[in-house]
Amino acid sequence: MSRKIVFFDIDGTLWDFHMRIPESTREAIKRLRGAGNLAFINSGRTRAFINSEKLLSLGFDGIVSGCGTMIEWNAGGRSIGVKICPDDVLYYHRLPREICIRTVETVRRHHFRPILEGRHNLYMEFSEFEREPYGELVIRAMGDKLLPLMDNWGQWEISKLSCDTENVETSACFAELSDLYDYLVHDEKVVEFVPKGFDKAKGLVHVLELLNIKLSDSYAVGDSVNDLGMLRAAGTGIAMGDGTDAAKKAADYVTAPLHEDGIFRAMEHFGLF
């Protein structure tokens, strides 16, 4: 039988929003890989923000990060770790300096609060996110890999960004940067700016091309708005039982909720171990 590949979203799929991972998920990925299949993360987070030992200890053959702007794969079967191994990087797209500056100047003029996202660092103004739950999460998770935005003006190495847009008008800014980005609007407060030509779906397809795996042998598992493309693009799209209605509608199959062994049940249902 041909080797299968499964792409997993992180938040709401592999772990919940308190970063709790079901033991059944750990067992499912172990069995999946033990059967000779591949397990990939496919996340909107850039690689700098995929740095949890707990998460990566699940064991992954590769990572698609930053909505397809970076692809890693270890051909030797070693699990991808927290530290980036240059030999594992198959692809990386970095935003040019002039684009970064234009973007930051524009979003700040429209009173957005940006977090710039790269493969080694994230950048933000700490004072703008004080006592903000998401900002505090980023600060805790990133440690010394989180750098001040303004103090590193024009020196950012990034491939995408997110913005806090609470209580500001967004349409004018979106129009001004529409030649550069597509927008993932999670709610009235959080928007991801993704460079045109990139998304989770294209990242998935790029991996299949690089590894010469048929589309029909691919699976994607997700739960929310930024998973819709990869759920539709994969040979089989699987939505978490506690995911959004939109994710369930885009998927071919809806599994149980995360904490009701959703990942394990899906892998078992499709005979992946």
State the span(s) of the chain assigned CATH 3.30.1240.10.
Answer: 97-195
- How does residue 198 score in pLDDT terms, banded at 50, 70 and 90? very high
**168-187: pLDDT as tens digits:** 999 999 999 999 999 998 87
DSSP 11: B
Which segments within 36-135 are labelled E, that is strand? Answer: 38-42, 62-65, 70-73, 89-92, 113-117, 122-124
Query: Looking at residue 186, what is its pLDDT?
Result: 80
Comparing 14-28, 37-51, 129-143, 233-247, which segment has the lowest mean pLDDT? 129-143
**223-263: pLDDT as tens digits:** 998 899 999 999 999 999 999 999 999 999 999 999 999 99
Q: Is 0.75 topped by the overall pTM?
A: yes
Q: Tell me which CATH code domain 97-195 carries.
A: 3.30.1240.10
Residues 6+ apart with CB under 8 A from 202: 68, 229, 233
Q: CATH classification of 5-93+198-269 is 3.40.50.1000, yes or no? A: yes
Span 135-159, average pLDDT? 93
User: Sheet harboring 146-148: ordered strands across?
Assistant: 146-148, 122-124, 113-117, 160-164, 190-195, 181-185
b/e 55-84 (16+ beta carbons within 10 angstroms → b): bbebebbbbbbbbbbbbbbbeeeeebeeeb
State the span(s) of the chain assigned CATH 3.40.50.1000.
Answer: 5-93+198-269
Query: Looking at residue 251, what is its pLDDT?
Result: 98
Report how far residue 230's alpha carbon sits from residue 270's, in angstroms, rounded to the nearest whole number: 18
**208 in Cβ contact with 190 (< 8 Å):** no
**Is pLDDT larger for residue 137 or for residue 47?**
47
Q: Is pLDDT above 80 for 1?
A: no
